[in-house]
Amino acid sequence: MQTPIHYDTRWNGNHGIGRFSAELQKRLPGIVPLPIFGPKLSLIDPLALTLALASRRSGCFLSPGFNPPLASPIPFVFTIHDLAHLHVPEESSPLRRLYYRLVVRPATRKAARILTVSEYSRADILAWTGLPPGQVRVVGNGVSPVFRPKADPLAGREPFLLHVGRRAGNKNIRNLLRAFAASRASASLGLRFTGAPDARTLAWAAEAGVADRIAFAGDLGDEALLGLYQRCTAFVFPSVHEGFGLPVIEAMATGTPVVTSTTTSLPEVAGAGNALLADPHDVEALAAALDRVVEDQALRSELSARGLRRAADFTWENVCARVVQAMELTG
């Protein structure tokens, strides 16, 4: 009989951790959704998790996110994708910092194992917790099979740059808009975001003088998002902090040239020579990278081919195999 993995399915959703959660749930053997009262990360969530686990006597508990129980009668494993809530002021708050200090960090010493998604995050977590190195395991991320290239990956590209994902503080949207405004590319291309318009992005676009050059694609399913990846001239992801940066690999998997950051996990995920990297704090450098990728057709072809090869290394099957290995080590 398969040992049960009691699983917090509340993380499933259309975002980085949500994708990680849903893909693991589909593939890991022995998954048993754990009924938990209330929303994740509420003030009572650590207690709700503890109560949900109180009657379990076999298997282990796995959370695909950073919400551990206060105590558990069975081994538990949880996932810290990054420490952005501690490093990025716009993503932090006194309550979040208190949660990490009083709930997350103590739980790292009780957990059978901590999972994370990059070597960058692993080093950051080890420095923050002081855990033995073997206690934190990198399992990475994968690319859904839906994200694939056309027969000719660069054929039929349209004159717009694309940004995918939340426009949170770590995503560096203000500098992206400033760089876009400073680039020669803005004269002939637009800049498109996924998601709905928000007042802050609109204000920054007006400040940069490019309000008439940006557009919003709304909330998209995978097939619609695939269409955007396959049509854009290039994908731009100039975050200041990422634990992984899944859209970078999704874009590469469609044969889309990528411009991303020199910081945190992004050079590790992109791999050497597979994307244009720019300092996300340097608007001029970011603008120059945009111009290079737009104006140099040979460069776009090279980045497309290299990105496709790089993305092939990232499968959810491999991620699940690493998670299983980490879970087996808990026994």
pLDDT of res. 52: 96
- Helix (H) or strand (E) segment spanning residue 25: helix 16-27
pLDDT of res. 16: 86
Amino acid at 260: T
Confidence of residue 331 (pLDDT cuts 50, 70, 90): very low
**pLDDT tens readout for residues 23-59:** 999 999 999 999 999 899 888 999 999 999 999 999 9
pLDDT of res. 272: 97
**Looking at residues 252-274, what average pLDDT do you find?**
98
Q: What average pLDDT does the structure give for the chain?
A: 95
In CATH, the architecture of 5-142+315-328 is 3-Layer(aba) Sandwich (3.40)
**SS3 assignment for 157-170:** CCCEEEECCCCCHH
pLDDT of res. 59: 93
Report how far residue 130's alpha carbon sits from residue 116's, in angstroms, rounded to the nearest whole number. 15
**Looking at residues 102-120, what average pLDDT do you find?**
97
**pLDDT tens readout for residues 212-242:** 999 999 999 999 999 999 999 999 999 999 9
pLDDT of res. 32: 95
Confidence of residue 75 (pLDDT cuts 50, 70, 90): very high
- Position 243 pLDDT exceeds 70: yes
Q: Do domains 5-142+315-328 and 160-311 have the same CATH topology?
A: yes
Contact (CB, 8 A) for 100 and 108:
no
Higher pLDDT, 15 or 18: 18
Report how far residue 281's alpha carbon sits from residue 285's, in angstroms, rounded to the nearest whole number. 9
Contact (CB, 8 A) for 256 and 230:
yes
**pLDDT tens readout for residues 196-206:** 999 999 999 99
Contact (CB, 8 A) for 278 and 173:
no
**CATH class name, domain 160-311:** alpha beta
Would you kindly state where each structural domain of the chain is located, as residue ranges? 5-142+315-328, 160-311
**Looking at residues 138-166, what average pLDDT do you find?**
96
**Looking at residues 135-159, what average pLDDT do you find?**
96
User: Within 13 Å and on the Cβ side, how many CA atoms surround 199?
Assistant: 0
Output the CA torsion sign for 2, 4, 9, 13: negative
pTM: predicted TM-score of the whole model, two decimal places: 0.94
Confidence of residue 329 (pLDDT cuts 50, 70, 90): low
- Position 2 pLDDT exceeds 90: no
What angle is formed at CA 245 by the lines to CA 10 and CA 324, rounded to 5 degrees?
A: 55
**pLDDT tens readout for residues 264-320:** 999 999 999 999 999 999 999 999 999 999 999 999 999 999 999 999 999 999 999
- Helix (H) or strand (E) segment spanning residue 261: strand 258-261
